[in-house]
Amino acid sequence: MKPGTRIFFALLRTAIGVGLLVYLGVSGAIHWGALLGLAAAWQVTLAALALLLLDMCAIAWRLCVLFRPRGLHLSLASSVRLTLIGIFFNACLPGATGGDVMKIYYALEGNRGRRTEVTTVILLDRAAGMFALVLWPLAVAPLFPELVSATPILRGLLWAAAGIAAMMLAGLAVCSSSRVRNSRALAWAFRLPLGNYARAMFDTVHGYRSHLGTLAAAVGISMLAHTMAVGGTLLAADATNPVGATWRMAVLIPLGHLANTLPITPGGLGVGEAAFNKLFALAGLEGGAEALLGWRLLTILMGLAGLVFYLQGRKRFVRAGEAVPT
């Protein structure tokens, strides 16, 4: 894609996000004054920020765990730096460069010859986080049977989440199958243009079939991280909502965060707020958009630390090490 085209689409996506926020504000769906509650209830805000920082550390730890079976070493400190750089580009900049792209760019430094492998592990890290994010509302929904039974749309969203989780598991099963790996169809596909990259990516994922415990650990860490993220968002809702937060929001928040990951606008700007507002309204609640805006402001605050690491320039974060035994 030409630079001019990239700039055009970046500006278009940003305009859509800002337009959605303006529309929500004009329609009364967002009460901007509610965000002052973050300062008024500063103790709650600090607790939310602490939970989000712990969430970020858990995400960084997950990437360290996934690199080990590939004979690659990433220290927790280096992974925290990579994660904060990613947060900075996701939350603070309205450009077309996403946080995952920047994490890959920085992680590739000094790993010539293993770039496709490193890229695949980071994408797998992202997939583990997404898989846990669709599992989280399914895990907590049984705790709120009245809410689920009274909200048909919510039931439909939960069924959709279950379907996505099943498809992701099916995809992992395909990539783990030796029969598929040795099939003629896949051998033919690998001879197509860019087939060498496809083979390297497939073989990287296929290698985890001997390290299923690592994948399970990555999902477990992700569930822990999402629990802290939901807790931080609940505290943001408590600070910005005059009537406070309620535990029923715990089912709705991860679904809203899923919508916030849609690449329609930079960082889900506007899209996430609209989704939170609609989800909260389905449960008879208010303040959904303000809750996400509170979370977004705290995330931007964390992202400023990523700016410091970004300005330090590229360093070698991922190094060759010893692979974990099968």
- For 278-304, the pLDDT digits (tens) are 999 998 899 999 999 999 999 999 999
d(CA 259, CA 66): 26
Q: Bridge partners of 319? A: 73
Q: Which domain holds residue 216?
A: 3-320
Question: With pLDDT > 70 as the criterion, what percentage of the chain qualifies?
Answer: 96
pLDDT beyond 80 at 97: no
Please state the domain count of the chain: 1
- Residue 325 forms part of a structural domain: no
Confidence band for 113, pLDDT divided at 50, 70 and 90: confident
**Number of residues that make up the chain:** 326
- Residue 66 forms part of a structural domain: yes
Contact partners, residue 113, CB within 8 Å, separation at least 6:
none
- Residue 326 forms part of a structural domain: no
pLDDT beyond 90 at 320: no
Confidence band for 324, pLDDT divided at 50, 70 and 90: low
How much is the average pLDDT of 28-37?
90
- Residue 42 forms part of a structural domain: yes
d(CA 48, CA 54): 10
- Residue 312 forms part of a structural domain: yes
pLDDT beyond 60 at 96: no
- Residue 86 forms part of a structural domain: yes
Quick: pLDDT tens for 57-91: 999 999 999 999 999 999 999 999 999 999 998 88
28: left (phi > 0), else alpha (psi -120 to 50), else beta? left
Confidence band for 17, pLDDT divided at 50, 70 and 90: confident
Angle at 78 between CA 217 and CA 105, to 5 degrees: 95
